[in-house]
Amino acid sequence: MRFVDIIAKKRDRLELTKEEIQFWINGIVDGSIPDYQSSSLLMAIVLNGMNSKETAALTEAMMYSGDVIDLSGIEGIKADKHSTGGVGDKTSLALGPMVAACGLKVAKMSGRGLGHTGGTLDKLESIEGFSCEIEDEDFKKQVNECGIAIIGQTAKLVPADKTLYALRDVTATVPAIPLIASSIMSKKLASGSDTILLDVKFGEGAFMKTVDDARELARAMIAIGKELGRDTRAMISDMNQPLGNAIGNAIEVKEAVDTLHGKGPEDFTELCLQAGEIMLLQGGVYATKEEARKALIQTIEDGSAFGKLKDMVASQAGNVAMLEDTSLLPQAKYVLEMKSVQTGYIQNLNALEMGTLAMRLGAGRATKADSIDHSVGIVLNAKKSDHVNMGDVLALVYTNQELTPEWIEDFYGAYKFSTVVVERDPIIFDVLQ
């Protein structure tokens, strides 16, 4: 088999066989196929696409390019949830414990933040001592005993994706649904869970800019899951403004804790409840959404969800006292009020700009080598559709440095105001399965 013939085949819009795709992935892993040839095929895929059969074959080949986690030693259904990334997305920190408190096992591997999107691991590492790196057997033992564990992906998980992602990044071949879907799903499937819930975000702060694009990606990933025997469902959620109020690391941990005490932002709480309903139905814990929602709310009211978060943090060597008293979390030197310079209804609050502003404070990474300042970030006091008067506090900025005039100008540039009432969008636009 010659790889140049495979490139030519996709150039001519023909379907690649499972064997041809496997030959490609094998060549990526063992280094026998040079980057320039893989780059050529990637561009052919961007231009000519892949059908669902090809995409599933690519995902499976990538999935088995490295370690595949065996979770069969964990009792019951194992659930996982994946977000395509956004601003203020601390969902796993609240949703995971809520679902675990209802009796569903949550075995989750998460990533770190890059650019304007925050990473779950970075948020958790705001907690003193918390370890994202634990051995496989300890991971399984913790999920069995505690019901939940959130850890970092192992270096040997889907190595083909690491190579392909780096190539896509420098060859303008990132925006292709088959490549995005196979990248995400290969990691989720290799992580070993029985059920997968995908939170596919769209809007200014998301990779997919429109609802239709988000639906297309969701359908592609669901098809892969079904093809490979996993119960995979997706919800389409709004990222035209940040999720919740907090954008940062320690301040997002605090917001997750507040949510588990019934004091979280309305949009974030609703997203957790709707996601939890789907996960509990997938796991067969409850038969109806109504029963599942009632149970999830009960875990907040009786404190069992917060108890699960504390159990997980303690099991992973974290300082639980920081959850019981969130003032012990990393604190910024300055807390500055950003006041509105006009009166009106907030028509738009640009999530991408807000995420970038937080990154510029030190809450995120512009490059993988950058370090994180866990104490800094932005807490919003008003969001889309809210009415504010001139001089009202729009947000609190947690920072360890003085704000530059450029930063302040960009902050106010992220807001657009209207003199007429602005409708509030739903947080979840669709659920697919």
CA-CA distance, 306 to 217, in Å (whole number)? Answer: 33
CA-CA distance, 31 to 114, in Å (whole number)? Answer: 27
Residue 346 has phi, psi (to 5 degrees) of -75, 115
**Active-site residue list:** 82, 161, 168, 183, 187
| Three-state secondary-structure class, residue 417 | strand
Please report, for residues 25, 219, 302, the alpha-carbon distance to residue 62 in angstroms, rounded to integers and kept in the order given: 7, 19, 43
Structure tokens at 370: 């950058």
Cβ burial of 49 (10 Å; 0-12, 13-18, 19+) is middle
* CA angle centred on 48, ends 43 and 51, rounded to 5°: 115
* CA angle centred on 94, ends 129 and 411, rounded to 5°: 85
Q: What is the DSSP letter of 426?
A: P
- Give the other-Cβ count within 10 Å of 368's Cβ: 7
- Residues 6 or more apart whose Cβ sits within 8 Å of residue 127: 253, 313, 318, 319, 322, 323, 329
* CA angle centred on 185, ends 133 and 88, rounded to 5°: 65
- Give the other-Cβ count within 10 Å of 303's Cβ: 14
Helix, strand counts (H, E) of the chain: 17, 13
Strands 377-380 and 393-399: antiparallel
CB 394 within 8 A of CB 382: yes
CA-CA distance, 293 to 273, in Å (whole number)? Answer: 6
